[in-house]
Amino acid sequence: MAGGDVKDYVKRSESLLETSSQMNENDVGLKLIRPLVEMLGWDSYTDLQSEYSVRAGTTQLRIDYALLEESTPAVLIEAKGAAVSLNEDHREQLASYMRQTGVEWGLLTNGRSFQVLRLTSEGTTSMQDTLVEIQLEGMTQDWDIMNVLSKEMVVSGDAHQLADQLDTRKQGIRELQRNKDNLADQLTETLVEQAGDILQHEIEVEVTEFVDDLIQSLQAEPSDSEFPTTADEILDKVGTVLPGRKEEQRQKRAEIVLSLYKFLRKQERVDKDGMQQHLSNKRPNEFDKDEFERHWVNYVRDTLAELPRVEQPVRGATQIWRYVPPKLDEKISVGEIDEWILNLESIVAKDVESAARQRAMVQRAHDYLQENERATKDELEEVLPPYTAHYIDFEGFWSSCLKEAFNASDDLYKPTRSHQYWYYTGGNGEKSQLKLDVEIEDWVLKQDISGQDRTIQQRQSLLQFAYEYLQQVETAKRYGFEEYFRENIPGNTGQYRNFDGLWSYLIKDGLKQAPGVDVIQSGKSGPTTYEYRNTDSDNR
């Protein structure tokens, strides 16, 4: 396939995605997948079948697309909308189709990212592996790898050879990662024997960075060409942002920036002091704090901010610089951002990408609450991706951004002293009413029930619900109320963590004030019995 054709495909696809960022999976298939499979040598009319149907046991599978070789599926394709972030669930969905149909090759894509899956057998077990992930912007450089799914290679069997090479590469990288400390020690020992102990510190620093750079370079996909790896590439990326009267001076400064950029990519989060310490380790006595400050103000700070995937701190935030790797960016991204999140004052990032990621994190947290109805701060920290924008940790992100965002939402309840849960109530409070079809009586309305307005309404409904249950059964103990509530109450319990809280803070004493209810205590510590007597004094 000519490189020009691939470039045209990438350019056209990027234009389509820019104008239709919310493109659904049908459009992704029509506008992005069909042209791709044609470039791979498949005929989109005779070889490509949409909604491919196959029976697996008693299940009828409907697969988005199948590439057929003489009416037999050779590659399965699963399409997702352009705004959908590909994740492990999507990969498992495609892998399940591959296992059930015995098809060896698979492609998972949202039009922006392309993941090639391979099905292998180990003994009697079928195993799926993600061979490679290719981004649209890197398709031109990665085309030789993408060719593993070409009709020529799949039909001839040559795809297996390329896949084996990719597997061997991945295994080699894993071995290097596992043994990098031993490798660094051995290299250091060899070099020190040659150069002498006086250079041991410098050798240790350089060898450690060399091994890290080697692993990072091997891990990089060809599409990672956007990342500068030499001083000249730094100069090409930043242009006049990096000052210097002489080319020699600019070259030296570019080497310093490159060293910090590699360090930041490795660590992902570094503060200014950490960068100074890194340079001091590499060049002892050359970068004390005063000297580093001069370099920092003159060119380091502004140049770093221009490099790919680097996010600089905002004013007033902890001074953490962040490198955002593509994998993490994928985990952060979401589909459409709600209007109220777009207008949040707690989004303080000054560059567009950082602000977009902060909004995406807020959206993911809100989506989780909407799906699960409630969550504590600790639970949100557990489920959110490990991205904290310009804050040193989740605590900073929570205090300065996420908590403020939740407070601005009109469909969330914040915690009170009695619980630590944030609750999703629905924009119009539908969920907050718990779908209880009860008419609240005057005696309930007169009870001193704490909470926000909607919370009070919930709790009044729950107390009324307990009272009507007692009217039905006439005699009940605590466990009877609990069983009835669990069978009939959908979702949360008036913002109490569980029925224990609901009983202790609301029902136990609230029923004592109910008309026609007698409370009988069995001894000092025995179970309390509630009896309802239907009398004319009932003020219902």
Q: Which token pair is 520?
A: 């009988």
* Burial of 428 from C-beta contacts in 10 A (0-12 / 13-18 / 19+): exposed
Q: What is the pLDDT of residue 127?
A: 56
Amino acid at 143: W
Q: Is the model's pLDDT at 298 over the cut of 90?
A: yes
Q: What is the pLDDT of residue 493?
A: 59
C-beta separation of 390 from 311 below 8 A: yes
pLDDT digits (tens, 9 = 90+) for 431-459: 444 456 788 999 999 998 887 676 788 78
Q: What is the pLDDT of residue 191?
A: 86
Which of 76-85, 247-256, 300-309, 390-399 comes out lowest in average pLDDT? 390-399
Rounded Cα–Cα distance for residues 490 and 373 (Å): 11
Q: What is the pLDDT of residue 133?
A: 84
Question: What percent of the chain is modeled with pLDDT above 90?
Answer: 29
246: how many CB neighbours lie within 10 A of its CB? 8
Q: What is the pLDDT of residue 449?
A: 87
Amino acid at 280: S
Q: Is the model's pLDDT at 392 over the cut of 90?
A: no
Q: Does 3-174 match 434-532 in CATH topology?
A: no
C-beta separation of 234 from 254 below 8 A: yes
Pairing verdict, β 105-109 and 125-135: unpaired
Q: Which token pair is 435?
A: 């779908």
* Burial of 112 from C-beta contacts in 10 A (0-12 / 13-18 / 19+): buried
* Phi, psi of 450, deg, nearest 5: -85, 165
pLDDT digits (tens, 9 = 90+) for 23-34: 888 999 999 999
Q: Which token pair is 25?
A: 């999976």
Q: Is the model's pLDDT at 414 over the cut of 80?
A: no
**Which of 471, 485, 491 is CA-nearest to residue 540?**
471
C-beta separation of 68 from 47 below 8 A: yes
How much is the average pLDDT of 45-66?
85
Question: How many Cα atoms sit within 13 Å of 276 on the Cβ side?
Answer: 15
| Residue spans per domain, the chain | 3-174, 187-321, 323-409, 434-532
| CATH architecture type of domain 3-174 | Alpha-Beta Complex (3.90)
**Which of 382, 312, 401, 393 is CA-nearest to residue 350?**
312
| Mean pLDDT computed over every residue of the chain | 83
Q: Is the model's pLDDT at 521 over the cut of 70?
A: yes
Longest dimension (CA), the chain: 105
Task: Name the residue with tokens 């005779």.
Answer: 46
Residue 474 confidence class, pLDDT cut points 50, 70, 90: very high
**Which of 507, 410, 504, 420 is CA-nearest to residue 458?**
507
Q: Report the helix count and the strand count for the chain, using DSSP H and E.
A: 25, 15
Q: Which CATH number is 434-532 given?
A: 1.10.10
C-beta separation of 278 from 259 below 8 A: yes
C-beta separation of 383 from 331 below 8 A: no
